[in-house]
Amino acid sequence: MCGRFALYDIPRVRRSLRIILGEDFEPLPTSPRYNVCPGTWITAAWHSGEGAPLALGQLWWGYRPHWATGKAPEPINAKSEGVATSRYFRSAFARHRCLVPADGWYEWLALLDGKQPHYITRADREPLWLAGIWTERPDGNPGCAILTEPARGAAAEIHDRMPLALDDDSLAPWLDPHMTDREALRGAVHHLDDELLTHWPVSRRVNRPANDDASLIEPADDEMG
């Protein structure tokens, strides 16, 4: 799953998009975040509507279509295996895809004496591009969910699932609102090479959403942080 992540190097995100997609964006008025939680505004690259230019803006992390009623769920993640066919997600998968940049994400390893948080990131420290989908929420604001897949590489040492991180060549087709065919998209989009991933244990301070500082991503001094 992906329930907590860090995004602190916005200039590098903009630089990467300029190199990979040939797109540049105005600086975002955001501060570094080391403990991004669900139910908050998060940075994403997306087309806000048909014919709209690609933008680097803010989406609410919580997916609930405007047509949903009653006690409809508000997931923060969507399984990549079923997102194209699920009634709840398929329209967004076809036409409302987005990218959520992250410097890394957190996952918790279950141990006999508790859960140890780990920080998972790219070994080269380049941004991670997490595949997402967005929808107009009942309140009129755009909300998103991050896709997940079975864990691979170093991430599989911590948890059985991970966010769907895309390689550089996949960013343009993933964001293309005209690419709606599922099989065409499947052929054009590939996940990041799992050999690029690394992780280390971090402090349990990350468990509290109120804690949000650079020390959260530093290696823990002892096994249980």
Catalytic residue among 74, 98, 107, 144: 107
Among 151, 173, 35, 159, which residue's Cα sits nearest to residue 99?
A: 173
Structure tokens at 117: 């948080």
Alpha helices in the chain (DSSP H): 10-21, 90-95, 171-175, 182-188
Which one is catalytic: 2, 74, 98, 144?
2
Q: Which two tokens stand for residue 89?
A: 């997600």
Which residues, 6 or more positions from 54, have their beta carbon under 8 angstroms from its beta carbon? 21, 23, 45, 46, 47, 175
- Our answer to whether residue 2 is catalytic in this structure is yes
Nearest Cα to Cα of residue 43 among 81, 123, 100, 105: 100
Which residues are catalytic, by number?
2, 107
